[in-house]
Structure 1
C-alpha cells in the first residue's frame, strides 16, 4: 500500500492532506523521515510516526473506554460532553462508533470500533452477550425482590421477561448482575419495576472482557488485542442463573 493511502486509512486526513504531511517531513518510518508519498508499505505489523508520535497500522480498530459520568455516547450532544471528545482526531476521522450506549450518568466499560460486522455481532438482540453492571439502589433489595429480578420482570412497552443474571450482593444497597437483552434503560427500568430506583450504575464487564483487566482510569481508553475484543463476543450459554 502507498504511504499516502495508508495514512488516509488510519484517519490522518484526505489523501491530499496525507501527501502534504509526507512532503513536509512530518512522517517517519524506522526513525527516518520519508518524503515520497508513493513509498510502498507492507501493512502487517507496519509501524510509522506522525509528528513524532508512533503508530501501528490497524486495518480495523477495537477500543475500550472507561466512560466517565456526564458524557453521552453520541457525536451530537445537547446537554453533556460527548465520549468522542475523549478520543484523538485520527480515530474520529476513522468514524469509530460506540457499540451500544451508556446513559450520561452511567460509567464504565464502553467499546468502540470502525468494524461494522463486529458492531453488529455485539448489538444484535439475538446474540445474548452478557453485560455486567454494578448497581447502587435507593433502598435495599429484599430476598423476595431479588428472586423476582432473577426470575424476570416485565417492562412497559417491551415483550418478554427481563432477568437479572448471575446476581451478586456486594453490600448494603450495592449489587451486581448481568443482562443479555440490552433494551433502552434496561437496568434502571428493571429496578423501577420492583419498586426501587438506581442511584448509581457502572458497567464493569462485557462477556468475558473485564474493565479491571484493562488498567484504564475513568476517561482513558486503550486499543484491544485480538484476544481481548474476541472475548467480548462470547455468548451466554443460557439465560438461566448460575
Structure 2
C-alpha cells in the first residue's frame, strides 16, 4: 500500500474551492506552502504526508504513525470483523480512528506476537516486498519431538503442489524437544504449519517475535501496544 502522489495543482483544486486559474497568482506570490516552504511549481508531486497550506489555510496535515502490537490469540488481523475481536479493537479510540491505518504482516487467528500498524504505505511496502527479504522470527511449539532432520528440510525449501511453489530456504533452530525458532523471508499461506506438516508434526503454538530488526517489546502484554521508536522506524531501508 504505497502512498499515492498527486500534482500540487490537482490536489489543491480537489481539496479547496479554487480553480487552476485562481491558483496561479497564489503560486506566483508565494502563498502556497508545501512542508512550510513557498513553492511556485504547480507540477510538484505531493503525497499523503505533505503539509500543504494556501494563503494560510491548511489543506493537509497528516502525520505518519507507527505502532507495534502484541497480538493475542483469538484476534483477527483486520480492521473490523462481525464475529471476532480484531487487532484494531486493541487500540485506544483516539488511535483506532487515525485515517489510513493498516496492518503490516498479518497473523492467523490463533497466532500471537508482533504486528505492526501504520498509515505510512511506503514504509510498510519496504517491509513486505519479497525482494527486500526482510526476515521474520517465529517461536514454534510442536506436538511431537523434533530432531536435526528438520533443520535441513527447512534449509532446502519445500515444494507445495497446490500452488506450484517452492518455499525460500528457512532457518530453524531447535530450542528443546518440542520447541523451535524459525526465520523466514516470506510468508506463504499457513507456511510454518504446512512445513512442519511435512514431518507430520502439528504446530500447537506459534508466536512472532520480530520483523527484521524490530523485536516485540517484552514489556507488552497480549493486547497491549506502543509507538515505535525513531530507531525502529528508521531501520527499515
Q: How do residues 42-191 of structure 1 correspond to structure 2 at under 5 angstroms?
A: 59-94=63-98, 95-155=100-160, 156-165=162-171, 167-191=172-196
Name the CA distance, whole Å, in 2 between partners of 1:180 and 1:140. 25
TM-score normalised to structure 1 length: 0.67
Answer with 1 or 2: which has the greater Rg.
Answer: 2
Q: C-alpha root-mean-square deviation of aligned residues, in Å?
A: 2.0
**Contact 1:73–1:82 (CA under 8 A) maintained in structure 2:** yes
Name the CA distance, whole Å, in 2 between partners of 1:81 and 1:158. 34
**Consecutive aligned runs of 4 or more in structure 1 exceeding 4 Å deviation:** none
Give, in angstroms, the shift of residue 197 of structure 1.
1.4
Secondary structure at 2:141 match in 1: strand
Name the CA distance, whole Å, in 2 between partners of 1:226 and 1:91. 18
Name the CA distance, whole Å, in 1 between partners of 2:164 and 2:177. 30
**Contact 1:154–1:162 (CA under 8 A) maintained in structure 2:** no
**Contact 1:62–1:223 (CA under 8 A) maintained in structure 2:** yes
Change in CA separation of 1:58 and 1:204 when aligned onto 2, cut-off 3 Å? farther
- Could you give the per-residue CA deviations for residues 33-58 of structure 1, whole angstroms, max 9, x where no partner exists? xxxxxxxxx9xxxxxxxxxxxxxx98
Gaps of 5+ in 2: 1-35, 37-60
Give, in angstroms, the shift of residue 62 of structure 1.
0.5
Name the CA distance, whole Å, in 2 between partners of 1:207 and 1:158. 27
Task: Give the count of matched residue pairs.
Answer: 176
